[in-house]
Every structure is written in C-alpha cells, then in structure tokens.
Amino acid sequence: MTIELAPLPYPLDGLAPHITERTMGFHYNRHHASYVANLNRAIAGSPHENASLEDIVVAADKPSSLFNNAAQAWNHAFYWNSMTPGRPEAPSADLLAALEASFGSLDAFNTQFAAAAAGNFASGWTWLVANESGLSIVNTDDADTPLRHGQHALLTIDVWEHAYYLDYQNARPAYVEAFVEHLINWQFASTNYATHS
C-alpha cells in the first residue's frame, strides 16, 4: 500500500501567529512530504510494501533510512494533531486527574514539559506518554518515537530546528512557550489517553 501524507487538521495559516504559514509551508509541504515520499520509495517491492505506517516504524531496523523516514512520517502526523488553532481547551477530567497524580497540577506539567522540550539537546521530540506507572514526559533523539519503547503517546512537540527557526530563530524556549500556552490540543491528548486507559 502507499503511505499517504497525512492531511493537516487546519489550514497552513491556522496556527498563526504562533507558527506562521511560511514555517508550515516548509515543514509540512517539504519536510513531512519528503519523509513520506522517501518511505514509499523504500518500501516499494519490499516485505513492508503492504504494511501500515505503525507496523513499519515498529519493525524497521534502527538506525536505518527506512526507520528514519517511517518514524518521521508518523511523528509529524502526530505532531500536527497535537496542536489546535485558538486557545487550547482543558484536558478531560480523566486526563487532568492523571496529570495531577503524575505532576502535581496542570501548571506543574506545563512547566516540566516546557523545560524538557527547551532542554532537549540537538534534534528530537518531547512527548507526554502514558504507561503502567502513570504519565511521563520523555525526550527522544532524531526520529525515535514512543512506538519503539512500549509507551502510549498522548501529545508531542517537534524540537528539530526546522519546526521553529523561521519564526523564532534560535529562541527555542519562546517556541516551546507558544506551544504550551496557545497550541496544545488537549482534546487529542484526552482521546489518546482514553484509548490507553
């Protein structure tokens, strides 16, 4: 099967002014689209040709070009859905309770998540994940993803420079603050949490 470029859940300018249409044009139409195109070339005629994207991410040798392109295609689709235009709604009651149990409060989670994302060295991702012991904030390097570690992802922020450099230059903390304060899609995170519970 052909792996499709996941559609954006909002227009290219939908996250402005926090993430501009210019950044989204490069990030979605070039970076994400390239990962998908490279992946489809890699799986053509291979044992992965009819596999789902998730199955490829889990099965691919790591490190490898196949893994990098599959994981980045999956990570980016998840990232777009981790954001929403307008001020974020609150987490569901169940997710809020889990956040309070794991971090003390929603504000404490926001602070810890922002610190983890701002301090995630080099290129990678910062995730809120659920596992048997509750909720955790984890950083992954390069294309790595919770799918490979038995963790259930709830939301993520991309901290590769191409995600923010056109808008924020080297001020990653300002980009992270905008994500936490204005963009988190708590409905998406809550739905992901409900499927884990």
pTM: 0.96
Instruction: State pLDDT tens for residues 136-156.
Output: 999 999 999 999 999 999 999
- Joined tokens for residue 102: 């794991």
CATH classification for the domain delimited by 93-196, as one of 3.55.40.20, 3.10.20.740, 3.40.50.720, 3.10.20.30: 3.55.40.20
pLDDT of residue 7: 95
Question: What pLDDT, on the 0 to 100 scale, is given for residue 132?
Answer: 86
Please report the pLDDT score of residue 117 as a whole number: 98
Q: Where in the chain is the domain with CATH 1.10.287.990?
A: 21-81
Q: What is the pLDDT of residue 9?
A: 97
Where in the chain are all domains bearing CATH 3.55.40.20? 93-196
- The amino acid that residue 160 corresponds to is W
- Residue-wise pLDDT for 30-64, tens only, equals 999 999 999 999 999 999 999 999 999 999 999 99
- How confident is the prediction for the chain on average, in pLDDT? 96
Sheet holding 152-158, edge to edge: 134-141, 124-131, 152-158
**Residue 129 Cα distances to 1, 10, 63, 102, angstroms:** 29, 24, 22, 11
- Which pLDDT score, from 0 to 100, does residue 197 have? 62
Q: Which run of H or of E encompasses 59?
A: helix 53-59
- Mean pLDDT score, 163-181: 97
pLDDT in tens, 105-134: 999 999 999 999 999 998 999 999 999 889
- The larger pLDDT score, comparing residue 89 to residue 98, is at 98
What is the rounded distance in angstroms from the CA atom of residue 147 to the CA atom of residue 41? 22
CATH of 21-81, one of 1.10.287.990, 1.10.10.10, 3.40.120.10, 1.10.4010.10: 1.10.287.990
Q: What is the DSSP letter of 83?
A: B
